Amino acid sequence: MIARLKGEWEDEYQRWQKRDLSARRYVYVWADGVYLQARIEPQAECMLVLIGATPEGKKELIGFQTGMRESAQSWKELLVDLKARGLSIAPEVAVGDGALGFWKALDETFPSTRHQRCWLHKTLNVLDKFPKSVQPNAHKDLREIWLAPDRATAETAIATFAEKYAPKYDKAVECLIKDRETLLTFFDFPADHWDHLRTTNPIESVFATVRHRTARMKGALSQATARLMVFKLVMAAAKTWRRLQGQNQLPKVIQGVKFQDGIEVAPEAKSAA
């Protein structure tokens, strides 16, 4: 029975991996490499995960395969495969961790897609460079940046953070400053979408449940079976994913309407001839 079930999962997975994407478009995408330890094996397998938001605001699993999280080649194989199956229109924004090889692959495959670095990952990386006693205050100061009402306030908060901590914790400040532009990309999109664009939470929240399930069964799973089981768990979870807030703003993003600090910018009136 287990062998038959695994065979059915494998068939379903292979069909999904070959599905036609020519009718699909994704406005935003979230990328991450998720490690799941199945059996006690030399290396945990990394699942490369890509989730996208459709023009209707629905979140969908786009890409899912094993690979190396930091490898640009692994990510490029995934992206090129999606493109070959018809995903020809570049997403407007991609959200992910700075450590991913994804960014190089993205620039080669969809060069017009803008980068938004995940604030959840960045915050953890910056705080890791502080002693534990300083971390609560530093975390509060970082929140002042990503929760700022506009780009100018965020820029001021970054400058304040740098001035406050650079004398003693220059590595923490450097970690923040080097990605300042891609950390603030979300300000150029509708304010209703900011919560969605600031982090890779769509992936993190899904895999919290998946990790719980696979951890309980880790002694019974090979890497191949773990991959199939994770795929099935994610597809089941996808049925309950909530749509993006501000769905009515997505067509405007697609049409190229400009937003400044989350607010639609009225097009300049053409001067009379």
Q: How far apart are CA 24 and CA 227, in angstroms?
A: 25
Measured CA to CA in angstroms, residue 136 lies from 17, 133, 139, 158, 170 at distances of 44, 7, 5, 17, 17
Q: Return the structure tokens found at 202.
A: 């769509």
Question: CA–CA separation, 161 vs 157, rounded Å?
Answer: 6
Q: What is the pLDDT of residue 49?
A: 93
- Above 80 in pLDDT, residue 221? no
Angle (CA) 56-87-60 rounded to 5° is 40
Predicted pLDDT at 41: 52
Better-scored residue on pLDDT, 270 or 142: 142
Question: 63: which residues sit within 8 A by CB, 6+ positions away?
Answer: 48, 49, 50, 78, 79, 81, 82
pLDDT digits (tens, 9 = 90+) for 28-65: 999 998 886 654 455 667 889 999 999 999 999 999 98
pLDDT at 1 over 90: no
Cα–Cα dist 230/214, whole Å: 8
How high is the mean pLDDT of the chain? Answer: 89
Kindly tell me if the per-residue pLDDT of 214 is higher than 50: yes
Q: What is the mean pLDDT of residues 67-89?
A: 94
How many whole angstroms separate alpha carbon 271 and alpha carbon 273? Answer: 6
Task: Evaluate whether 96 touches 102 at the Cβ level (below 8 Å).
Answer: yes
Q: What is the pLDDT of residue 38?
A: 53
pTM: 0.91
Q: Is 217's pLDDT higher than 70?
A: no
- Mean pLDDT, range 187-213, rounded to an integer: 86
| pLDDT confidence bin for 7, thresholds 50/70/90 | confident
Residue 151 above 70 pLDDT?
Answer: yes
Q: Please name which of 254, 235, 237, 207 lies closest in space to residue 57, comparing C-alpha atoms.
A: 254
Q: How confident is the model at residue 2 (pLDDT cuts 50, 70, 90)?
A: low
